[in-house]
Amino acid sequence: MKLILTTIISFAIISCSSLSQPINENLDSEVGWMHGNCLAIKNSNISSQQHFTLIHLGDKKTIEKAVIIKKATTGEECYPLLDDRADINNNAGYFFYRVKSKETVNFAIGIFKPENISSLDYAFCNTTEGIQFSVSQRGSVIWEGYYYLGYASGPTCK
């Protein structure tokens, strides 16, 4: 009887802990946010011509394949690197890449290992000075990214 009870409790603990685990412990190196054709991600080792999944955010969420063109270094090629915001976005640990996509990008999320892409929810909202991006699974946030805009904006985050 003791063995059966121990087995049931062990199974319950294992089952509950697997539900709370994130999809991947290294999501910061696999998921990033986009403004225009520029991807910001905490990964310095992305090579040109590497493909990834791009999720357009907004009223109509569309998904497409996109490709890295090259690392971005200036505000002329990457909005997050404009003079009024580059320091804060760089100091947050992001690396920036120019991206080629079929559709025009406003705000989006890029994912390099999209095994369970259909089971995830993607969102963004305005803070007082930037954009908060997030990926959730079953109501729990598993990744967040922050984009400093360099000017005041009306907050919409809950």
Residue 154 has pLDDT above 80, yes or no: yes
Q: How many whole angstroms separate alpha carbon 144 and alpha carbon 123? A: 10
Query: How does strand 51-56 pair with strand 63-71?
Result: antiparallel
Number of domains in the chain: 1
The answer to the question of residue 66 being in a domain is: yes
pLDDT tens for each residue of 2-44:
443 333 333 333 333 333 444 445 799 999 999 999 999 999 9
pLDDT tens for each residue of 38-86:
999 999 999 999 999 999 998 888 999 999 999 999 999 999 999 999 9
pLDDT for the residue numbered 140: 92
Q: How many whole angstroms separate alpha carbon 117 and alpha carbon 39? A: 18
The answer to the question of residue 20 being in a domain is: no
The answer to the question of residue 55 being in a domain is: yes
- Read off the pTM: 0.82
Structural domain of residue 113, as residue ranges? 25-148
| Residue predicted with more confidence, 157 or 119 | 157
Q: How many whole angstroms separate alpha carbon 133 and alpha carbon 33? A: 7
The answer to the question of residue 30 being in a domain is: yes
pLDDT for the residue numbered 25: 52
| Distance linking the first and last C-alpha atoms of the chain | 49
pLDDT for the residue numbered 80: 98
Mean pLDDT of 113-125: 85
Query: How does strand 31-35 pair with strand 140-148?
Result: unpaired
The answer to the question of residue 157 being in a domain is: no
Cβ 125 vs Cβ 157: under 8 Å: yes
The vertex-70 CA angle with 65 and 73, nearest 5°, equals: 125
Q: How many whole angstroms separate alpha carbon 144 and alpha carbon 90? A: 16
pLDDT for the residue numbered 15: 34
List, edge to edge, every strand of the sheet that includes 140-148.
120-126, 130-137, 140-148
The answer to the question of residue 49 being in a domain is: yes
